[in-house]
Structures are given as structure tokens and as C-alpha cells.
Amino acid sequence: MRTALLLAATLAVMACGSDNPSSPPILTIGLTAPKVTIAVGEPVQLTATARDVNGVTVTGAKFTYTSSAPTIVNVNGDGRIIGVAAGSASITASSGGITSPPLAIAVTATSGVAVVTMTNNTFTPFTSTIRVGQTVAFDFPPLAHNVIFANRTGKPTDIAATQSETVTRVFGTVGTFPFDCTLHPGMSGQVIVNP
């Protein structure tokens, strides 16, 4: 009986100790990029690293990324940024209540490229205006979307379900080209192509 009670107490203590199987608390987060000057339409993958009080990397940390100016530099849930317009923005990564120092990213203008990002099942911007022969870069987040163009003369090829990637389309015909994500009803946008 005594052995059974001792065994039960030991198991209870072990169970209590396993209530928090998570890694040690995060003390710092570092955020790096292979380059800090990018062009409009250029995607770059950031790397966030969480460390504990001993400087040891905390494995399994989940990060939330934030851009100070999403209309200049957009960042998705995987920490992949894309230049949206010329200018600069700061990116941070957060986890466990700790935020990294801001990482400054500069974006240089690129002639003839417009960028469409996808956040919360919305194409941003809704309307992109370009000239004939110019390009639209569709930047896909971790959640899969597609881009299906309305049946119009001169429309580019549709984009099948894609995630965490940037896909470009060149528009060679003047007109208005509406598109939808058929995976998420109500998610629509358009490209206006001027001469």
C-alpha cells in the first residue's frame, strides 16, 4: 500500500512538471535579412531567432511580423517581405511578449511593376493601374489563394492555388481585367491597363 501511494505521488509530481512542456522563456529576438535594400516587387525571406537567458536558441518559437508601413514593405506570416512602393519601413518580429529591434528596409523604385498583396482574404490594392507591357506581382501569403481572371480578350494566364510565393503576370492589352480568388468568395480585384 505504501509503495502504491509513493508511486502515485511520484506520478502526480511528474504530471505537474509536464504541465508546461514549452521551451524556456524568450529573452531576446533577433531579426535579419539577406539584404536591406530591395526593389518594388522583390520578395525577401527574413529570419527571426529567439534566444533564452543563456543565449540558447528557443526552438519552436512562433513569430508575428509587423511592418511600420505595409504600403511600402509588406510582410506575411512567414516573415517574407516584398517591396510595394519606393520608400522605407521597419519590420519587427514578436513572440512570447518580446519584440525584436526594428529592422530597416529600403525600397527602390522599379519601372513598370505593381504589387498586389493578400491579407485577410483581401487583394490590396483593389485596383492596380499600369501601362501596356508592364507587370503585376501577386504576392501570396502562407494561406493559399488563386487568381482567376474574368474572360476578357488579352487576359493573362490564371494563377492556380499558391502560397508563400510571388507570381508575376505581364499585361499586353489595354483594358480592365477583373480577377477573383475562387477559394475565398468575395475576394476580388482588378488591373487597369492604359496605353
Query: Using an 8 Å Cβ cutoff, are 164 and 78 in contact?
Result: yes
Task: Tell the burial category of 15 from Cβ atoms under 10 Å away from its Cβ (0-12, 13-18, 19+).
Answer: exposed
Backbone phi, psi, residue 16, to 5°: -60, -40
Pairing between β-strand 98-99 and β-strand 73-75 as defined by DSSP bridges: unpaired
pLDDT at 24: 78
The pLDDT assigned to 22 comes to: 54
Domains of the chain: 28-108 (2.60.40.1080), 113-194 (2.60.40.420)
One digit per residue, the tens of pLDDT, for the chain of length 195 reads 444 433 333 333 333 332 234 567 999 999 999 999 999 999 999 999 999 999 999 999 999 999 999 999 999 999 999 999 999 999 999 999 999 999 999 999 988 999 999 999 999 999 999 999 999 999 999 999 999 999 999 999 999 999 999 999 999 999 999 999 999 999 999 999 999
- pTM of the full structure: 0.84
Q: For residue 181, give Cα distances in angstroms to 73, 89, 140, 186.
A: 23, 28, 11, 8
pLDDT of residue 23: 63
